[in-house]
Amino acid sequence: AAGMFLRLLSDVRWRATNPKWRRMTCSQRSTSSTAEPHPVSLPAQAQVVICGGGIMGTSVAYHLSKMGWKDIVLLEQGRLAAGTTRFCAGIVSTARHISIELKMADYSNKLYQQLEQETGVKTGYVKTGSISLAQTQDRLISLKRIASSLNVMGIPCEIITPKQVAQLHPLINIHDLVGAMYVPEDALVSSANVSLALATAASRNGVQIHERTSVSHVSVQKGRVTGVETDRGQIQCQYFVNCAGQWAYELGHSGEESVNIPLHACEHFYLLTHPLKEPLASNLPTIVDPDGRIYIRNWQGGILSGGFEKNPKPLFTEGRNQLEIQNLQEDWDHFEPLLSALLRRMPDLEALQIMQLVNCPESFTPDMRCILGESPAVRGYFVLAGMNSAGISYGGGAGKYLAEWMVNGYPSENVWPLDLKRFGTLQSSRTFLRHRVMEVMPLMCDLKVPRWDFQTGRQLRTSPLYDRLDAQGARWMEKHGFERVKYFVPPGKDLLDLDQSKTFYKPDWFDIVGSEVKCCKEAVCVIDMSSFTKFEISSTGDQALESLQYLFSNDLDVPVGHVVHTGMLNEKGGYENDCSIARLSKRSFFMISPTDQQVHCWAWLKNRLPDDSNLTMEDVTWKYTALNLIGPRAVDVLSELSYAPITPEHFPSLFCKEMSVGYANGIRVMSITHTGEPGFMLYIPIEYALHVYNEVMNMGQKYGIRNAGYYALRSLRIEKFFAFWGQDLDAFTTPMECGREFQVKLEKGMQFVGQEALLEQKQNGVYKRFTMFILEDHDTDMDLWPWWGEPIFRNGRYVGKTTSSAYSYTLERHVCLGFVQHFDEKTGEELVVTTDFINQGEYEIDIAGQRFQAKAKLYPFSSLFTHRRRKDEVELSGYQRE
Amino acid sequence: FYLTPPQVNSILKANEYSFKVPEFDGKNVSSVLGFDSNQLPANAPIEDRRSAATCLQTRGMLLGVFDGHAGCACAQAVSERLFYYIAVSLLPHETLLEIENAVESGRALLPILQWHKHPNDYFSKEASKLYFNSLRTYWQELIDLNSGETTDVKEALINAFKRLDSDISLEAQVGDPNSFLNYLVLRVAFSGATACVAHVDGVDLHIANTGDSRAMLGVQEEDGSWSAVNLSYDHNAQNEHEVERVKMEHPKSEEKSLVKQDRLLGLLMPFRAFGDVKFKWSIELQKRVVESGPDQLNDNEYTKFIPPNYHTPPYLTAEPEVIHHRLRPQDKFLVLATDGLWETMHRQDVARIVGEYLTGVHHQQPIAVGGYKVTLGQMHGLLTERRAKISSVFEDQNAATHLIRHAVGNNEFGTVDHERLSKMLSLPEELARMYRDDITIIVVQFNSHVIGACQNED
């Protein structure tokens, strides 16, 4: 068996210029590992230490050294590219669902293509193209969505018929296919050789590479990396990069200061065969058959075929286990469904002789996306791991982004979907990871439909009202481990049908959410929004105010009791967070941020607030249950429950007051709703949650109160053109670009982060503009629904992508939100986007290849709504006087 | 509410236990390869008990299932004590003397049994002294009675059963100064338990049964198919001989009232049982014990209640029916199970499911291609064949668990239906007992090689 693997590596022509290193690597095939002396001693210090000599570690080293960082040491416990990287199937595929992943894969492909020329190391790069097959119409829709994304990025790609598939690949049985996607520039490489090529180039640039050196732990002082401890001595360093692959979790937890890297290994199998009688051409396209859960590529005249089975075998749950490593054997019975799928796809292979079934563990993450970025707990501790078996596709791009992050402070693209800080310690339980990756691995091949939820690892964080809401028909989704209600199934509805609403078309909850929205518009609804991240920041003197004024763009020096919507911006003026801050007293502030900001926002503030014992920040997320009373009747319910006047004169918009609700005192009431509808947020100490909820529901009965969920909220906020951080806003979006100039106080009398960038934008204009689109000729019942990531076309030319969408029950139309850019027709250069540019275009939104006319708007229909609301308020005050 | 397959598995596997007879020099010389056992509760707490032990001073292995009723106290006591009574009954005179001398002089006692217990199978610490004293009295009597003959297993089993039941009865009549123990012995006596016990020694298999649990032998026919052989008779109203026996033991005037609605005196399902002194003691004795007993007992309507038409006690006995069977190479396994299993499954199905499970396990040896020339098509054929055999076996490493999975989850086509399984296992406590009974199963696997060799020697 071992001989075969060596052959995978056999065509490496070693031409490293560093003679010391050559000596080391030449002996890497020697059989006796113990006798071999370590030729070079470790340096005492370095700027960067990278742990892991697989594709990730070498790619990070390559890019760092290219960007000018030279003082880098790469440590590999065994030999370079000898772990998962060596066993990798070597398929470079750009067909990815998420835009950032697509960009990484595209970059990797281009990098590998010229790598051989650059380094002289043979990488085995062959541009074969890839064909993704669809056995069902839904699968074809999914492929068409990807094709749309690839096309607007300039990556050649087309949807082809089964007949065309047969022309491209002689062995494929096309009888059960409805179509396919062809990406002609996808490629095959020898991943081990790519890794060695990257290492060679890095080494030429001065990176020191040491094999057979294991990192035992990372030393940390005052929250910063200070060095690493290895089995061959200590190295002092400022930066540590954990590229330890499936061992990254263990390594993260080996130090005194734990760095949680949530990933878990699963066994992964693929088959190698002897050559066919007539050996397969080396440029034959790679086949991906997601409905059969397999991929098939040509390999030395034969084939290599593996897949993602429904019943994965997780391993190393208890850490590195010698027994499990030894037991990594071919498991043919386990492979049987995949072999069946292979023979169904290529029946002529029956007579082909088996060479081997390879078992190579791959690491998977809780949300199927890789993990990249700096630890929130330890500064200078970077991570790149958890590739969900797409390591070779992402390797180049991921290494580049991480290097940019380290050198420049932030990568050149928004990598939030991959950021380590999207996870917290709550995802670090081994049981959670084991269960979740068993769900994630099969998902690699499952249809990605809008609004699907993970089934495992649920009910971890819940509101105290969970059981009450559940009993009333709540259907749940999860965000950052927190259960949130999607909608409430009315009694008598068929439950099973609703749970299986996996579709690209109109979902079966359409009417349910519609009635919740209607109730929000006309009466009053209550939505449990406890998952939102809540911090309290206070100080003995003016430190809190001063620090926050510097860190936030809006003016926070407002009278006590006022609530301010503000961005937490980076130097470039981009949103690191979008939050609401209430001034509780002269010296203390209550801050509400999106749910998934819990780790990121904490780390951002911790790193920037002055180290002053008189200034304290506390995460109080768990202390409060948040109820959103939303709708024109919210004010009646609240005033009846509190015996306090809640008229606009007493309780204007964006106001915060502690008051009693029912028997419970100390409820923090804010006149905000996050949707633009009238209403209140109630922040309730958790032990009062049930009481207040009961009181609200009882009192609300006569006003027609009912429960509502996040789908209703989403529809409301999107039709009101409210941008949400994490969906519409990210670190590359400024307030100026999304019509939020009013939330920036450039003249608040003191400097704040991002001010200069915003000033410049104010003077010179913006290069993208957040725009609202109302679909015109879209049939809600018959047409595919928009989701997000759909390309936007202006006068037939691509100008940007949508970031979120929802059906507006008020407009009875679909609304998409997204960013419009202005590319010069000849040069492609980005130009300033003006209001006229937006208003004077004909727009189309591309949903899975089908274009729908859309009307662009830069401002919401707010006048219409506010008018009606004022009328209500007049009536209301009249009613109260009676 | 829906249980995921891992949740179902964790419920099913919570009580599973496996024991493999250790090998010496790579050889297992015992006729038993090992056993798998498991329990699935329906009552809360479960009223079934199970025991397994190897006799250390004589040869052989003891296995038993005990189905309690009116509480679990009696089943618990029997599960702790019965095997000691059997082991002592089997001991030769010299060994008994040796043990008695050791106790007398305070020396270390020869171990009599090696228990094979699941962590949930507990022994009562408080009662151990009391139980020990009763047992010692028994062996002292056996020493006095020394007949000089070698012990007959059948007789030993019958004696042990009867003696334990009479000790239970006696302890309740005498009481105990410790109020906890006093209440305990009364609860043991007033509740009941059936017992089905196997004693395996070489090719000699004895089944001693009291009540409606059942022992069944799994036999593999020459064509590879599976058949079931009953090694016990149910002691209930469906058994004509048993009804006949009860009628014989009481005057003709009671004939009509003895068995009503298929129950003894219209009350009790099993016709033989340990404990249940309400069916054994005279009315006067019952009243006296209850009145002098602790308040809890006195307040309990059940214990105060005297069965109707109660004229000529005892109506109930713990005496077992013993069946001897000489094991043959085709006898592959023995299933001991409480009525919870037999109510839901026919023995023929039990034989087939366990048989296919046990042989399937052997087929699960992994395939390795190694240096052989194998084509994809050949491999595919081989794998499909294997999968058909092992598909349902896949999840279980324990034959008893596998059987419970089928007993609870089988649909009308005789295959396990996950949805049904999930529903049955997620029933709330108060409903569970209406859909299923406690199930306790022991599957003993025999060593055909050893059995074949023994046969040839004979």
Digit-coded pLDDT (tens) for B159-193? 999 999 999 999 999 988 898 899 999 999 999 99
Pairing of the two strands A797-808 and A813-823: antiparallel
Q: CB within 8 A of B256, min separation 6: which ones? A: none
Q: What pLDDT, on a 0 to 100 scale, did the predictor assign at position A316?
A: 87
Q: How large is the C-alpha radius of gyration of chain B?
A: 24
Query: CB of A349 within 8 Å of any CB in chain B?
Result: yes
- What is the band of B455 on the pLDDT scale with cuts at 50, 70, 90? confident
Q: CB within 8 A of A405, min separation 6: which ones? A: A372, A373, A374, A382, A411, A415
Query: CB of B390 within 8 Å of any CB in chain A?
Result: yes
Alpha-carbon gap, residue B2 to A292, rounded angstroms: 28
Q: Which amino acid is at A693?
A: Y
Query: CB of A343 within 8 Å of any CB in chain B?
Result: yes
Whether B338 is covered by a domain: the verdict is yes
Q: CB within 8 A of B160, min separation 6: which ones? A: B82, B85, B86, B88, B89
Q: What pLDDT, on a 0 to 100 scale, did the predictor assign at position B362?
A: 46
DSSP-assigned states of every residue in A407-463: HHSS-SS--GGGBGGG--GGG--HHHHHHHHHHHHHHTTS---TT----SS-SSB--
Give helix B128-145 / helix B153-174 axis angle, nearest 10°.
Answer: 130
Nearest to A47 by CA among A239, A242, A243, A241: A239
Alpha-carbon gap, residue B214 to B231, rounded angstroms: 8
Query: CB of A273 within 8 Å of any CB in chain B?
Result: yes
Q: Which residues of B touch A435 (CB under 8 A)?
A: 6
Across the interface, of B6, B375, B383, the residue whose CB is closest to A336 is B383
Contact yes or no for A329 and B380 at CB 8 A: no
Q: Which residues of A touch B387 (CB under 8 A)?
A: 333, 336
Q: CB within 8 A of A718, min separation 6: which ones? A: A804, A805, A806, A808, A815, A817
Query: CB of A435 within 8 Å of any CB in chain B?
Result: yes
SS3 content of chain A, % helix, strand, coil (to 5): 35, 30, 40
Query: CB of B364 within 8 Å of any CB in chain A?
Result: yes
Nearest to A730 by CA among A805, A803, A821, A830: A803
Q: Which residues of B touch A330 (CB under 8 A)?
A: 366-369
- What is the band of A501 on the pLDDT scale with cuts at 50, 70, 90? low
Contact A479, A457 (CB under 8 A): no
Per-residue pLDDT tens over the stretch A125-147: 999 999 999 999 999 999 999 99
- What is the band of A874 on the pLDDT scale with cuts at 50, 70, 90? very low
Q: How large is the C-alpha radius of gyration of chain A?
A: 29
Across the interface, of B4, B373, B383, the residue whose CB is closest to A332 is B383
Tokens representing B183?
């209440």
**Beta partners for A383?**
A242, A373
Q: What pLDDT, on a 0 to 100 scale, did the predictor assign at position B365?
A: 58
Alpha-carbon gap, residue B320 to B64, rounded angstroms: 13
Whether B398 is covered by a domain: the verdict is no
- What is the band of A333 on the pLDDT scale with cuts at 50, 70, 90? confident
The domain spans of chain A are: 45-422, 766-881
Nearest-Cα residue of chain B relative to residue A348: B377
Share of chain A above pLDDT 70, in %: 92
Alpha-carbon gap, residue A219 to A223, rounded angstroms: 10
**Beta partners for A169?**
none
- What is the band of B223 on the pLDDT scale with cuts at 50, 70, 90? confident
Determine the 3-state secondary structure of B28 from DSSP: coil
Query: CB of B105 within 8 Å of any CB in chain A?
Result: no
- What is the band of A453 on the pLDDT scale with cuts at 50, 70, 90? confident
Average pLDDT of B65-72?
94
Q: Which of A406-410, A500-504, B147-151 tops mean pLDDT?
A: A406-410
**Beta partners for A295?**
A288, A306
User: Shortest Cα distance from B373 to chain A (angstroms)?
Assistant: 7
Query: CB of B379 within 8 Å of any CB in chain A?
Result: yes
Across the interface, of B367, B368, B376, the residue whose CB is closest to A273 is B376
The continuous run of DSSP H or E covering A696 comes out as helix A689-700
Q: Which residues of B touch A353 (CB under 8 A)?
A: 373-376
Q: CB within 8 A of A487, min separation 6: which ones? A: A474, A475, A509, A512, A513, A516, A708, A709, A710, A711, A712
Query: CB of A317 within 8 Å of any CB in chain B?
Result: no
Beta strands in B41-191 (DSSP E): 48-55, 61-69, 113-115
With helix as H, strand as E and coil as C, how does A140-201 read?
A: HHHHHHHHHHHHHCCCCCEEECHHHHHHHCCCCCCCCCCEEEEECCCEECCHHHHHHHHHHH
SS3 content of chain B, % helix, strand, coil (to 5): 45, 20, 35
User: Shortest Cα distance from B388 to chain A (angstroms)?
Assistant: 11
Q: Which residues of A touch B375 (CB under 8 A)?
A: 350-354
User: Shortest Cα distance from A456 to chain B (angstroms)?
Assistant: 9
Interface of A with B in 352-391 (CB under 8 A): 352-354, 356-357
Domain count of the fold of chain B: 1
Q: Which residues of A touch B383 (CB under 8 A)?
A: 332-333, 335-336, 339
In our burial notation (b when 16+ CB lie closer than 10 A, e otherwise), range B9-21 reads bebbbebbbbbeb
Q: Looking at the predicted structure, is the pLDDT value of residue A868 above 60? A: no
What is the CATH class of A45-422?
A: alpha beta
Query: CB of B388 within 8 Å of any CB in chain A?
Result: no
Query: CB of A65 within 8 Å of any CB in chain B?
Result: no
Nearest-Cα residue of chain A relative to residue B391: A333
Nearest to A455 by CA among A499, A512, A504, A488: A499
Contact yes or no for B369 and A273 at CB 8 A: no
Contact yes or no for A350 and B377 at CB 8 A: yes
Phi then psi for A239, rounded to 5 degrees?
A: -125, 140
Q: How many CB pairs under 8 A join A and B?
A: 63
Phi then psi for A566, rounded to 5 degrees?
A: -150, 155
Tell me how far apart the terminal alpha carbons of chain A are, to the nearest angstrom.
Answer: 90
Write down the mean pLDDT value for chain A. Answer: 90
**What strands lie across the sheet with A91-92, from one edge to the other?**
A91-92, A187-188, A126-127
Pairing of the two strands A706-707 and A525-528: parallel
Contact A594, A565 (CB under 8 A): no
Nearest-Cα residue of chain A relative to residue B363: A333
The continuous run of DSSP H or E covering A403 comes out as helix A391-408
Q: Which residues of A touch B6 (CB under 8 A)?
A: 435
Contact yes or no for B376 and A343 at CB 8 A: yes
Residue B442's CATH number:
3.60.40.10
Across the interface, of A340, A343, A354, the residue whose CB is closest to B369 is A354
Q: What pLDDT, on a 0 to 100 scale, did the predictor assign at position A631?
A: 94
Pairing of the two strands A208-210 and A72-75: parallel
Helix then strand count (H, E) for chain A reads: 24, 42
Across the interface, of B377, B379, B390, the residue whose CB is closest to A332 is B379
- What is the band of A639 on the pLDDT scale with cuts at 50, 70, 90? very high
Average pLDDT of B309-329?
94
Omega before B428 within 30 of 0, i.e. cis: no
Q: What pLDDT, on a 0 to 100 scale, did the predictor assign at position B395?
A: 67
Q: What residue has token string 């020459």? A: B222
Query: CB of B368 within 8 Å of any CB in chain A?
Result: yes
Q: Which amino acid is at A355?
A: M
Tokens representing B231?
């090694």
- What is the band of A167 on the pLDDT scale with cuts at 50, 70, 90? very high
Q: Looking at the predicted structure, is the pLDDT value of residue A680 above 60? A: yes
Nearest-Cα residue of chain B relative to residue A471: B1
- What is the band of A770 on the pLDDT scale with cuts at 50, 70, 90? very high
Tokens representing B165?
């039941």
Across the interface, of A329, A339, A456, the residue whose CB is closest to B379 is A339
Contact yes or no for A331 and B379 at CB 8 A: no
Interface of B with A in 397-416 (CB under 8 A): none
Whether B393 is covered by a domain: the verdict is no
Query: CB of A330 within 8 Å of any CB in chain B?
Result: yes
Record the pTM: 0.71
Query: CB of B4 within 8 Å of any CB in chain A?
Result: yes
Structural domain for B217, as ranges: 17-235+270-280+315-366+435-456
Contact yes or no for B377 and A455 at CB 8 A: no
Contact A524, A633 (CB under 8 A): yes
What one-character DSSP code corresponds to residue A606?
H
Q: CATH homologous superfamily of domain A766-881?
A: Aminomethyltransferase beta-barrel domains (2.40.30.110)
Please tell me which residue, B419 or A56, carries the higher pLDDT value: A56
Please tell me which residue, B390 or B52, carries the higher pLDDT value: B52
Q: What pLDDT, on a 0 to 100 scale, did the predictor assign at position A881?
A: 33
Whether B361 is covered by a domain: the verdict is yes
Nearest to A60 by CA among A268, A154, A230, A201: A201
Q: Which residues of A touch B364 (CB under 8 A)?
A: 333
Per-residue pLDDT tens over the stretch B110-124: 889 999 999 888 888
Q: What pLDDT, on a 0 to 100 scale, did the predictor assign at position B432?
A: 83
Q: Which residues of B touch A273 (CB under 8 A)?
A: 376
Nearest-Cα residue of chain B relative to residue A271: B376
